[in-house]
Amino acid sequence: MKDMANPHAGLAPSEWIVKWSHLLAPGATVLDVACGQGRHMQWFEGRGHLVTGVDRSPEATQAASAFGHTLTADIESGPWPFAGGAFGAVVVTNYLWRPRMADIVAAVAPGGVLLYETFAAGNESVGKPSRPDFLLQPGELLAACRELRVVAYEDGFLDEPPRFVQRIAAVRAGEAGPGQPARHPLRGN
Task: Report the CATH number at residue 141.
Answer: 3.40.50.150
Considering the domain boundaries, does residue 6 fall inside one? no
Considering the domain boundaries, does residue 104 fall inside one? yes
Considering the domain boundaries, does residue 27 fall inside one? yes
Q: Is the peptide bond before 185 cis (omega within 30 degrees of 0)?
A: no
The model's pTM: 0.90
Under 8 Å between Cβ of 88 and 109: yes
Considering the domain boundaries, does residue 60 fall inside one? yes
Considering the domain boundaries, does residue 5 fall inside one? no
The pLDDT value recorded for residue 11 is: 77
Mean pLDDT by 10 residues, the chain (189 residues): 42 94 96 97 97 98 97 97 97 97 98 97 95 96 96 95 96 71 66
Q: What Rg, from alpha-carbon coordinates, does the chain have?
A: 16
The pLDDT value recorded for residue 10 is: 58
The pLDDT value recorded for residue 179 is: 59
Considering the domain boundaries, does residue 52 fall inside one? yes
Domain count across the chain: 1
CA distance 75 to 61: 14
The pLDDT value recorded for residue 175 is: 65
Q: Which domain holds residue 59?
A: 15-171
Q: φ, ψ for residue 70 (rounded to 5)?
A: -125, 155
Considering the domain boundaries, does residue 144 fall inside one? yes
Considering the domain boundaries, does residue 102 fall inside one? yes
**Strand 51-55 relative to strand 108-119: parallel, antiparallel, unpaired?**
unpaired
3-state secondary structure string, 118-182? EEECCHHHCCCCCCHHHCECCCHHHHHCCCCEEEEEEEEEECCCCEEEEEEEEECCCCCCCCCCC
